[in-house]
Amino acid sequence: MAFADHYFSKQKGFIPCPDGPPSGQLRFIVVIPACREPNLVTSLESLNRCDQPRGHVEVIVVLNLSENASSADYNDSLKTAEETRQWMKEHSRPGFRFILIEELNLPVRDAGVGLARKTGMDQALYRFNYLDNPGGFILSFDADSLCESNYFTAIESVLDNFPNTRGLNIFFEHPVKGTEYPETVYRGIILYEMHLRYLNLMIRSTGFPHAFHTVGSSFCVKAESYAREGGMNKKKAGEDFYFLHKIIPLGEFREVNNTRVIPSPRESDRVPFGTGAAIRKFIASEDADLLTYSPECFYDLALFFSRIPELSHLTDEETAVSLSLFGEPLQSFLNGISALESIREIRANSGSRQAFINRFYRWFDAFRIIKFLNHASVRYPQIPVNKAVLVYLKDTGMHIPVDDPSAFELLTILRKIERSGTAR
């Protein structure tokens, strides 16, 4: 049996794409969901210009559309499919192959980016399974994204240095100036990317061990881990967040910071949250600020997480006393999620302090952190992201080169902080 046979035994209705067997040297498969993407070829050209890694590459595009799409969208998709197919025919070569999958009649209930990404990632897994290659990597990309020319070789270098890697987050930077979009879009994306980086850095500052970005265009996962954790979900938005927070707690998850993915800053009406939705909301608000979580929320979390190791050996009564010492809103949040009972169960199933800590952070995971931040925002109202970032920088002793930094200058500082290492 090949390594993912069990996974495919549970995937009812899965049909392999009829595109011939993969190369025996296949190491990377890039998956790109594409819905109403007239400029898809631009992203393919960006990948095509990349330096060739030692391992072979395939790029799978899943051109998708709901069954209730308008006739205009359907016809546009047919045109995109024909143009893409012709481009792929002209640019596929030994060691670098392009594959198009057309799914233009997806059921309304499931149609969306999650199903499209799952379709492509399942096809990628099937091709690695055909080779019985559990160490192949599935790379997630977007149809409106670009990348630097060392995209594949930078990833390959990290995997060579850390052969046990299960997944990677790849450094990203949105374009923040130009003529392709209105100035409001660039102003909005500066603030939104600041929010993403501030959130990630502040969560890390609490001591939470699984703080990584979860951007759909900027991650990859080992084929074996993808199969073992049940594959991608079908969520219409946030599919990347939900999927990666199954992979990250497994450990051996790292960052590639010496290359760059360039996601689009455009607004979008296709998903209820995420970059496109945030930019659409920013434009509609006509507001100069974007709000984010107050630093006080993270201070409370940091205090709580600092006490976790000692909870591994306390009695139930001692644990109850310890939890009661926290102020609002943390205490009310812990009561609301039955923390005392959950910690008791975690302790009963842990043979050591480290096992307790590991189990605790599988329970109090990224989902619960976001829920707590929203809960705590009643007590600690959200503040402009510029102000929040200044507080973070001052708390960490970071030098701020100007007295009154602009949003772009603050974002530049955060980017340098997060790009300070090659792998984490």
Strand-pair category, 167-172 with 219-222: antiparallel
Residue 7: predicted pLDDT: 97
Strands 56-66 and 146-147: unpaired
- Concatenate the DSSP letters of all residues of 45-76 into one string: HHHHTSPPPSSEEEEEEEEEEETT--HHHHHH
Residue after which a domain boundary falls, among 237, 256, 286: 286
Claim to verify: residue 220 and residue 77 sit in the same structural domain: yes
Assigned domain for 417 exists: no
Residue (of 253, 241, 18, 282) closest to 127 by Cα position: 18
Q: Tell me the chain's radius of gyration from C-alpha atoms.
A: 23
What pLDDT score was predicted for residue 272? 57
Question: Could you give the count of Cα atoms lying within 13 Å of 50 in the half-sphere of its Cβ?
Answer: 29
Q: Is 419 inside a domain boundary?
A: no
pTM here?
A: 0.94
From 4-18, 74-88, 187-201, 281-295, the region with the lowest mean pLDDT: 281-295
Provide mean pLDDT across the span 385-404: 91
- In a domain, residue 150? The reply is yes
Of all residues in the chain, the percent with pLDDT exceeding 70 is: 96
pLDDT computed for residue 422 by the predictor: 42
Nearest to 147 by CA among 49, 81, 287, 220: 49
Q: Which helix (H) or strand (E) holds 26?
A: strand 26-34
Looking at the domain assignment, is residue 193 inside a domain? Answer: yes
Q: Are residues 117 and 151 in the same domain?
A: yes
Query: What confidence score (pLDDT) does residue 423 get?
Result: 41
pLDDT score recorded for residue 39? 86
**Strands in 278-358 per DSSP E:** 291-292
Same domain, 337 and 273: no
Residue/partner pairs of 73-82 with CB below 8 Å, 24 or more apart: 73/36, 74/104, 76/36, 76/38, 77/36, 77/104, 78/104, 80/34, 80/37, 80/38, 80/40
**Do 223 and 346 belong together in one domain?**
no
Structural domain boundaries enclosing 273: 5-286
Q: Is the confidence at residue 239, as pLDDT, over 50?
A: yes
Q: Which two tokens stand for residue 327?
A: 């102020």
Please report whether residue 407 resides in a domain: no
* Residue indicated by tokens 């990250």: 248
Kindly state the tokens that stand for 218.
């900027």
Which 3 state secondary structure label does DSSP give 136?
coil
Based on the fold, state whether residues 330 and 250 are members of the same structural domain: no
* Interval 22-35: pLDDT, tens: 999 999 999 999 99
Q: Which residues of 267-289 are buried (b: 16+ CB within 10 A; e: fewer)?
A: beeebeebbbbbbbebeeeeeee
Task: List 99's β-bridge partners, or say none.
Answer: 60
What does the pLDDT look like over 185-216, one tens digit per residue?
999 999 999 999 999 999 999 999 999 999 99
Tell whether 223 and 310 lie within a shared domain.
Answer: no
> Is the model's pLDDT at 322 over the cut of 50?
yes
413: in domain? no
| Helix 183-205 with 385-395: angle, nearest 10 deg | 40
Tally the domains of the chain: 2
What is the domain-level CATH number for residue 260?
3.90.550.10
pLDDT exceeds cutoff 60 at 424: no
Q: Say whether both 334 and 191 belong to one domain.
A: no
**Which residues have CB under 8 Å from 115's CB, separation 6+?**
64, 106, 234
**392 found inside a domain:** no
Q: Are residues 310 and 264 in the same domain?
A: no
Q: Are residues 255 and 346 in the same domain?
A: no
